[in-house]
Structure 1
């Protein structure tokens, strides 16, 4: 609980004053705790930023899991997952953008790759089961799905485009890609490769 409180305080400092204003002292002050207590939970500013990054981007992916699982068919799943992603980005975009600028160095890159691989694997299993594709095909489609949704939300926010239009275009693009793959691979081949 205390950890989350400190991370909330760090997020507020970053959004209000920028990344350069984030110090252990500023977080302690914002959280109304001693600096020693902040250091008890986080050894350094870098560790605090890393924990905040992992929490925030974990929330992004975690919001999509129930959306994917709630749909009855591929279209419902894709629509729900895209909407969930857009919803989280809508509420946390500024923080995400600032955290991405802070993520430098080998440990941060490893954290990003690890989180992305886990999410890619999860989406790959869902896509593979739904479309009856091989694990390799599923993994590639999962990566494309994640990349397209991330790119669409970035363009929407950065270019101040209409959310409903961008979201719908993103969904149609994804569904068109999935349908195209299904049409290109005969059903018998899909059944054999997924067995």
Structure 2
């Protein structure tokens, strides 16, 4: 039987942090100790920033990005190439491509991929919204920047079939993205090369 060594408030914070990607119970304990030791410099500003995000963050009704404005800053930017829509699985993939400066077009976040094992079909993703956007005048190309996994490729083929009949070119990422690779873990140079080397799907 383990003995309690901290109060429930601290233990609750440790448990919450341990649920974050890359943090287990041990790393969460170290992080909490560091935050408490640096309360004025880190803990108080972090608590304030988390509250600001909780209060103001929203999902872009156009592309599915997360931001504090709707439409998001990317969709609202008049300098973006509105003839090009880059389709990604998750917001983290969008952020990875933006960090790399790989495209100047717009984005569309699917919210995942189709998966028979997990029971995720096209209705659980924002595919219908994508098709609607692609039918709008001015859209000329759709880049399928999904991960090179079985589920990612299945989703890409499904979207390609849904886009048939529309006057848009469908391309996908090419060189530099390994099979089984995930965009969020790739470096900026690899992402940029993959976008520049895209080809018709």
Taking structure 1 as the reference length, what is the TM-score of the superposition? 0.31
Write 1 or 2 for the structure with the bigger share of strand. 2
Quick check: which has more Rg, 1 or 2?
2
Write 1 or 2 for the structure with the bigger share of helix. 1
Taking structure 2 as the reference length, what is the TM-score of the superposition? 0.31
